[in-house]
Amino acid sequence: MKKIGMGLVGPGFVAAHHIDAVRRLGDVDVVAIAGSSQQSAEKKAREYKVDKAYGNYHDLIADPNISVIHNTTPNYLHLPVTMAALAAGKHVISDKPLALNPEEARTMRDAAVKAKVAHVVTFNYRGNPLVQQARGMIARGECGDVSFVHGHYLQDWMTDPNVYSWRSDPAKGGSTSALGDIGSHWCDVAEHVSGLKIASVLAETTTVIPVRYSAGASAEAFSTKSSGERTPVNVTSEDLASVLLRFEGGAKGSFSVGQVLPGHKNDLVLEVNGKALSLKWKQEEQNDLWIGRHNRPNEIMAKDPALVSPDVRSYVHLPGGHQESWADAFFNLMRDAYAWIAEGGAPEAKPVMLPTFNDGYRSNCLVDAMLKSSAAGGVWQSVVFQAEIR
Amino acid sequence: MKKIGMGLVGPGFVAAHHIDAVRRLGDVDVVAIAGSSQQSAEKKAREYKVDKAYGNYHDLIADPNISVIHNTTPNYLHLPVTMAALAAGKHVISDKPLALNPEEARTMRDAAVKAKVAHVVTFNYRGNPLVQQARGMIARGECGDVSFVHGHYLQDWMTDPNVYSWRSDPAKGGSTSALGDIGSHWCDVAEHVSGLKIASVLAETTTVIPVRYSAGASAEAFSTKSSGERTPVNVTSEDLASVLLRFEGGAKGSFSVGQVLPGHKNDLVLEVNGKALSLKWKQEEQNDLWIGRHNRPNEIMAKDPALVSPDVRSYVHLPGGHQESWADAFFNLMRDAYAWIAEGGAPEAKPVMLPTFNDGYRSNCLVDAMLKSSAAGGVWQSVVFQAEIR
Amino acid sequence: MKKIGMGLVGPGFVAAHHIDAVRRLGDVDVVAIAGSSQQSAEKKAREYKVDKAYGNYHDLIADPNISVIHNTTPNYLHLPVTMAALAAGKHVISDKPLALNPEEARTMRDAAVKAKVAHVVTFNYRGNPLVQQARGMIARGECGDVSFVHGHYLQDWMTDPNVYSWRSDPAKGGSTSALGDIGSHWCDVAEHVSGLKIASVLAETTTVIPVRYSAGASAEAFSTKSSGERTPVNVTSEDLASVLLRFEGGAKGSFSVGQVLPGHKNDLVLEVNGKALSLKWKQEEQNDLWIGRHNRPNEIMAKDPALVSPDVRSYVHLPGGHQESWADAFFNLMRDAYAWIAEGGAPEAKPVMLPTFNDGYRSNCLVDAMLKSSAAGGVWQSVVFQAEIR
Amino acid sequence: MKKIGMGLVGPGFVAAHHIDAVRRLGDVDVVAIAGSSQQSAEKKAREYKVDKAYGNYHDLIADPNISVIHNTTPNYLHLPVTMAALAAGKHVISDKPLALNPEEARTMRDAAVKAKVAHVVTFNYRGNPLVQQARGMIARGECGDVSFVHGHYLQDWMTDPNVYSWRSDPAKGGSTSALGDIGSHWCDVAEHVSGLKIASVLAETTTVIPVRYSAGASAEAFSTKSSGERTPVNVTSEDLASVLLRFEGGAKGSFSVGQVLPGHKNDLVLEVNGKALSLKWKQEEQNDLWIGRHNRPNEIMAKDPALVSPDVRSYVHLPGGHQESWADAFFNLMRDAYAWIAEGGAPEAKPVMLPTFNDGYRSNCLVDAMLKSSAAGGVWQSVVFQAEIR
């Protein structure tokens, strides 16, 4: 069987999950990975059981056996790696956030469109079958007019001040932490599911832990290992934020994000209230969709091929009760991405579920508006977004 | 046994629960109720099995066998009834919101303090043992510094546009609906549990259903009975709101309230995040307290005399798993109220849990600041509150 | 208003809840209580705010102002107290289990029927609105043919070997512990809800903690207070049991009970599976009824007057989300009991929900069959029960 | 990189998940699949993106590039396929139940031991990190002496009488349905986690739906597609069963299984009660472990590398809240299987978690004892099991 070749740049925390997902496709070949040095790349290649390692991303991009680039570098490297890949005519699957700011993101979006390749950003929560079920129910009008879109995305992994990585460094992770890292996910799912666009935002951001202690060198995200002496670092990016939302068409919204809230692991909750019914999806209980009703009992729809809509069935791989979760949703994203790639990235062939650089750029615009609102002391800020020109 | 006499003015929805709670005390005598007419009062008296009925509140207040007045009238009547009761030297237990606006509320608060009687406002959710447990844990510093206080209070009983009562009429219910009716409860519990005061607010309010259909006459709250012809009424009070909070001392907060969100019955959730641990209490699962931790498993503390703190045990009446809920929390409030009354309402004898007119006035100030913030298009608004002068 | 007079014999743990429930009725007068001595009775009378105290039950039964006797004595005293009350023509509300064995129970049942008074046994879980909802749904055939009735009733209050009371003493509590105390509740709810009768049983019983340490004197149930020296006592009654059931008509069943299972407070779960749908009710989440379906999403019916069947509404006192629990279900039982008493205990006037001495006798027969099955090493044992003869 | 070659015989429902899991390993090559005909095998090969297809299993086993055989045939073919593979010196990974009866299973177990190859049976629920966590906690004595092991495994996929496959045909699926298919899983997890062996059983089995309607031909399991005319078939295997258990050492147990219980999808629950604490694991909420305590709040341990024991961490691939579920547990099983294969299947190299043919044989012995107990009308039946001889 002819396989499509992929290469990955940036073998950090999430890289293993990219590789895992594409291996499950069966017809994708993990050709090579590129790291910051030949030595580190080879170490990671052995760990991930990949045959080839490159000490820089240029060589990987130039590899003729590779037609898809997975960009899992720290945020500040998204731009150069992706632009180089696009210039070489390669398809690109980039981690989120797409860029450090809307300008960079727009540059990539426009370049990708011009390059006529597939361009994907990993807003992976879309890959859950019941997220698609909720999106479909709202799109078909089953919820009635949407009045309120709300929820939160709460974590506790930064509770310990000894947690410090490139993510907290403005130069490498961007000027935002909670909003950029997880608020971006929440907003993407909120707009994707509700079918509504956020028109303006009002944000209140906070840095609960303003001094963190760095173990130096290249500490990986989600690592809490202490390694000898630690250096205090002033942190300016927010680890807590609450945001009010006004959607186009009049619906309202609100959400909170936090990375320092003990007991919350990856607690993303989205609820959409319509005049006819409400839908609530909790990422940590992703196999259930809560359907709230006024005059009838509430329902819990299980992720079950027999219960979801026909168009959602292809995202379900097991009978109900045989739960599918993070890696399976990530797989669904990659499956749709490679289906698009198989069509050469033709715009009209893009699966509806698949988040593109356009969505990644939009996400940067949303977060940017929130940061501006908060910096101005809490004022309503319109979302500035330049639509794609084909 | 000598019993203390109580009389109730305003035999609507919540009156039956006042009577129920005081009957459980064993040493309180329900002497009489007063309604808007002799006939309606007598009808309700029979229904509630009360011996005496008055056609106006003046006569009830004048009854020498009555020393405690329960004021469960519609909001716009809180002021005259309570002021008359205070003038007669009677103790007063008033439904919330205490008044239509801060001025009225302050008038009552000041009059009550001057009258040297017990004055209670029914922020009944304080009466839950695990609300007291949470309050105590935070007061003792077990949560560490509080960074975030958040949650919601969501209902669906106004989802149907045919729901219309005095509560939606600005003249009788006040200019607010969701914030005044349930936002007031949320903020009271939030301040009571966290031990923190809200310094300023920023609110976004919405009227999701701007036209309702009145069945005329005196439709009771929570009633959805249709009765012939209905008249469209423009509703201006909000049935949905989201609010950002800044607490004194630096903690942040946010909450949403809504009365038109299908599937939510009485869904009050309060979470307080400290740097050491988080606490979450859900009113609809009031026998569990969620304790969130970063480096240890989360805990679920059951309402159990063996698990709660010693000072909380008197609020628990049954072993763990023998659940206690709305009426039991309401009873606890009344028990503490009558304990205070037994001490003549002496300020120093007030049980810590018990919400007074001072809390009722504060609640009006908070809601007023929210309405002003929203009316101004969404700006931070300081909470204006005149402290009690003894 | 003319009130009906009640007197209570046996002021232990549950007595306070009997008094609490009847006080809520509004037209019942708690006339007196009787204890094992004049002194102890007076102490309890003050605690419960009851005017009159008797040092023996004979005097209380003879009190002409008392027409209803609440028998909350330890199990071995149920018979003499109840027989004396019936002989005096008084209505009797007895705690469960009705008796120490089927013979005693049948004697009381027959005497009560002959006395033509109201006779009630406190299988209080029937008083939950959603238990009645489940019963009605099954009776109306909404579940289809019932195939399986199962669940458990698990507690942990006897986990500590220092817990010892009359309940563990065969002479006072009977030869059974877990089956008699909580298995009886489970079976009553199972038969009441399913509408099916248990035809035969097969039980395996265990005494996990065969030696307990008595603090002597009259330790109350649910008390864990240590008081000086403790004496080891060999315990022979079971604290753990599993039972297989065959119902008349062919349905099967199974349940487990345990009192030494850490973490379970009052964890009664009943599930009934029909061919069309399943119903599950959890006592600790008594405001929700789970409705399981094969080809549609499962439902959660909230205790809400707008959601339950019309015949169940009188058991609901608050809107959905305003939870009702143990004391409210107990109240419902007492309300129906006094409604029956108001009709003089006429057989045809008995509310369907209300458990009578006939149900109490049946419960003793069921437990007796289980004990015989287990004693025989685990054999199927038919339930022997003599139907009421009018 | 040198890859190990695997081939799969029996491309039905579960085959795709075997292939998916081994692909995630990165160093296993899916060489070929064998079906019942060349044509059907080729069709499945294309679907699964496998290069080579065989029309019979003998040719696949003979393929020199294949060193591991995955046996996912219908139950009645487990024996011939596995015996042929063992005869060829191949490692074998077999679906459960290992065989139609204990004799067949023992034959395979003995042959596998003699062949000195790796032999694995897919009791995949062991692969869940929190199952391993529970096993470790009990093994280390954290729960105290175990008194009770209980739970259930309930499904509803056979609720519809039109569901009929080889699984209901005694000649192909064996004489048991619910006990063999899912009871086997429950018992395996129960013994694995508790560390205790079931000594004797007492079972009550039922066929709730005695007539099913076959669509003929080779209907796949879990398929409900109707295809024209259907033929009634008498079904004799049980679709519902309840079982009492006695463990070696004195602990007791009970569980129920059912395949016709509406609303239950894959509802496996295992609880182990010790004298110190209880553990409960629900397969449908597999990322939480409930820890029940008597004198402290209960705990919910999340699947989080920072919370589980060090020896469990290798089964965790994502941070807490990033849920892992069915496919991930299945992957963990395959990972350990191939780790054992990499050691040539040397007995001393077998990972503790990994279920072998010995466990598969034991499972057949347990189910056999249950069937005999039920056939005898419900008597205690000792488990007959011949220990492995090396």
**B312 contacts B352 by C-beta, under 8 angstroms:** no
Positive or negative, the Cα torsion across A176, A177, A180, A183? negative
What the block records as the tokens of A388 is 């794609």
To the nearest whole angstrom, how far is the Cα of A297 from the nearest Cα of chain C? 4
Tell me the pairing of strands C146-154 and C267-274.
antiparallel
Which tokens belong to C209? 């903690």
- Cross-sheet strand order for the sheet of D52-54: D52-54, D28-34, D4-9, D68-71, D91-94, D119-121
Number of H helices, E strands in chain C: 11, 17
**Which residues of chain B neighbour C287 with C-beta distances below 8 Å?**
284, 325
Residues of D with CB under 8 A from a CB of B: 291, 295-302, 306-307
Pick from C242, C264, C378: CB nearest D380: C378
- Closest to D139 in 3D by CA, of D270, D311, D346, D313: D311
Handedness of CA C167, C168, C170, C175 (dihedral sign): positive
What are the phi and psi torsion angles at C278 (to 5°)?
-115, 150
Give the burial class of B172: count Cβ atoms within 10 A of its Cβ; 0-12 exposed, 13-18 middle, 19 or more buried.
middle
Distance from the B264 Cα atom to the nearest Cα atom in chain A, whole angstroms: 7
Residue A74: both structure tokens together: 């720290």
Q: Which tokens hold the place of B128?
A: 């839950």
Residues near A91 by Cβ (< 8 Å), separated by ≥ 6?
A67, A68, A69, A117, A118, A119, A120, A341, A345
Which two tokens mark A285?
């209980």
Summarize the confidence of residues B176-188 as an average pLDDT. 97
- Judged by DSSP in three states, C278 sits in strand
Which residues have CB under 8 Å from C293's CB, separation 6+? C277, C278, C299, D262, D263
Show Cβ contacts of residue A206 under 8 Å, excluding neighbours closer than 6 positions.
A238, A239, A240, A241, B147, B148, B252
Subunits with at least 3 CB pairs below 8 A relative to chain D?
Answer: A, B, C
Chains with 3 or more CB pairs closer than 8 angstroms to B?
A, C, D
Burial of A206 (0-12, 13-18, 19+ CB in 10 A): buried
> Rounded mean pLDDT of C187-191?
98
Residue D116: closest CA among D96, D87, D78:
D87
Predicted local confidence at residue A282, as pLDDT: 98
**Assigned token pair, A39:** 């030595």
Q: Cα(A118)–Cα(D27) distance, rounded to whole angstroms?
A: 28
Question: Using the beta-carbon criterion (under 8 Å), do C294 and D147 form an inter-chain contact?
Answer: no
Q: What is the ipTM of this complex?
A: 0.96
What confidence tier does A169 reach under pLDDT thresholds 50, 70, 90?
confident
Q: What is the band of A219 on the pLDDT scale with cuts at 50, 70, 90?
A: very low
Q: Which residue of B has its CA nearest to D320?
A: B294
pLDDT at C371 over 60: yes
Instruction: Could you please state the CATH topology (level 3) that the domain comprising C128-318+364-374 is classified under.
Output: Dihydrodipicolinate Reductase; domain 2 (3.30.360)
H-helix or E-strand containing B235?
A: none
pLDDT, tens digit, 9 for 90 and up, residues B199-235: 999 999 999 999 999 987 554 545 544 556 789 999 9
Q: Where are the beta strands (DSSP E) in chain C?
A: 4-9, 28-34, 52-54, 68-71, 91-94, 119-121, 146-154, 198-206, 211-214, 231-234, 240-247, 252-258, 267-274, 278-282, 288-292, 298-302, 381-382
pLDDT for the residue D217: 58
- The pLDDT tens digits along chain D (390 residues) read 789 999 999 998 899 999 999 999 999 999 999 999 999 999 999 999 999 999 999 999 999 999 999 999 999 999 999 999 999 999 999 999 999 999 999 999 999 999 999 999 999 999 999 999 999 999 999 999 999 999 999 999 999 999 998 888 888 878 899 999 999 999 999 999 999 999 999 999 999 999 999 987 554 545 544 556 789 999 999 999 999 999 999 999 999 999 999 999 999 999 999 999 999 999 999 999 999 999 999 999 999 999 999 999 999 999 999 999 999 999 999 999 999 999 999 999 999 999 999 999 999 999 999 999 999 999 999 999 999 876
Question: What is the per-residue pLDDT across C147-162, written as a single tens digit (0 to 9) for each?
Answer: 999 999 999 999 999 9
Instruction: For residue C246, list chain D residues with Cβ-Cβ distance below 8 A.
Output: 204
**C146-154 and C119-121: which strand pairing?**
unpaired
Give the list of residues 6+ apart from residue D387 with CB closer than 8 angstroms, or none.
none
Contact D385, C251 (CB under 8 A): no
What is the rounded distance in angstroms from the CA atom of residue C42 to the CA atom of residue C33?
Answer: 8
C325 contacts B325? CB cut-off 8 A: yes
Q: Who wins on pLDDT, C164 or A389?
A: C164
> What pLDDT is stored for residue C229 in this prediction?
79
CATH superfamily, with its number, for domain C4-124+336-356: NAD(P)-binding Rossmann-like Domain (3.40.50.720)
- Cα A48 from Cα A51, distance rounded (Å): 9
Question: What does D68-105 look like in DSSP terms, one character per residue?
Answer: EEEE-S-GGGHHHHHHHHHHTT-EEEEPSS--SSHHHH
In tens, the pLDDT along C224-239 reads 545 567 899 999 999 9
Angle between helices C326-342 and C15-25 (to 10 degrees): 60
| Cis ω for the linkage preceding B97 (within 30 of 0) | yes
C266 closest CB neighbour out of B17, B50, B321:
B321
pLDDT, mean over chain C: 95
Q: Tokens standing for B138?
A: 């935070």
| DSSP 8-class letter at D182 | I
Supply angle C-alpha B296, A160, D277, rounded to 5.
5
Cα gap C151→A162, rounded to integer Å: 47
- State whether C284 and B287 contact (CB < 8 Å): yes
Which residue(s) pair with D211 in the sheet? Answer: D234
Contacts of B18-21 with C-beta under 8 Å, sequence gap 24+, read: B18/B70, B18/B72, B18/B93, B18/B334, B19/B48, B19/B50, B19/C26, B20/B327, B20/B330, B20/C24, B21/B327, B21/B330, B21/B331, B21/B333, B21/B334
Angle of the B15-25 helix axis to the C15-25 helix axis, nearest 10: 140
Q: What angle do CA A257, A262, A268 make, to 5 degrees?
A: 35
- Vertex C232: Cα angle to C226 and C237 (nearest 5): 100
Domain boundaries, chain C: 4-124+336-356, 128-318+364-374
D contacts of B291 (beta carbons < 8 Å): 297
DSSP secondary structure, D224-265, as one string: ----S--EEEE--S-SEEEEEEEETTS-EEEEEEES--TT-S
Q: For position B170, what pLDDT does the model report?
A: 83
Is residue A239 within 8 A of residue A258, CB to CB? The reply is: yes
Which residue, among A261, A279, A293, A374, would best test binding to B if mutated, counting the most B CBs under 10 Å from its CB? A261
DSSP for C313-355 reads GGG--S-TTS---HHHHHHHHHHHHHHHHHTTT-GGG--TT--
The first and second tokens of residue C235, run together, are 């315990």
| Neighboring chain C residues of B316 at a CB cutoff of 8 Å | none
Q: Which residues is D54 bridged to in the sheet?
A: D34
Interface size C-D, in CB pairs within 8 Å, comes to 135
State yes or no: pLDDT of B324 exceeds 80. Answer: yes
Mean pLDDT, residues B129-133 = 98
Distance from CA of A301 to the nearest CA of C (A): 4
Closest chain B CA to residue A292: B263
pLDDT of D219: 47
pLDDT at B358 over 90: yes
pLDDT band of residue B165 (cuts 50, 70, 90) is confident
Q: In angstroms, what separates the C-alpha of A383 from chain D's closest C-alpha?
A: 30
Using an 8 Å CB-CB cutoff, list chain B residues near A200.
none
Angstrom distance (rounded) from CA A308 to CA A363: 28
Identify which of C27, C49, C266 has the shortest CB distance to residue B320: C266
Cβ–Cβ < 8 Å for C178, C154: no
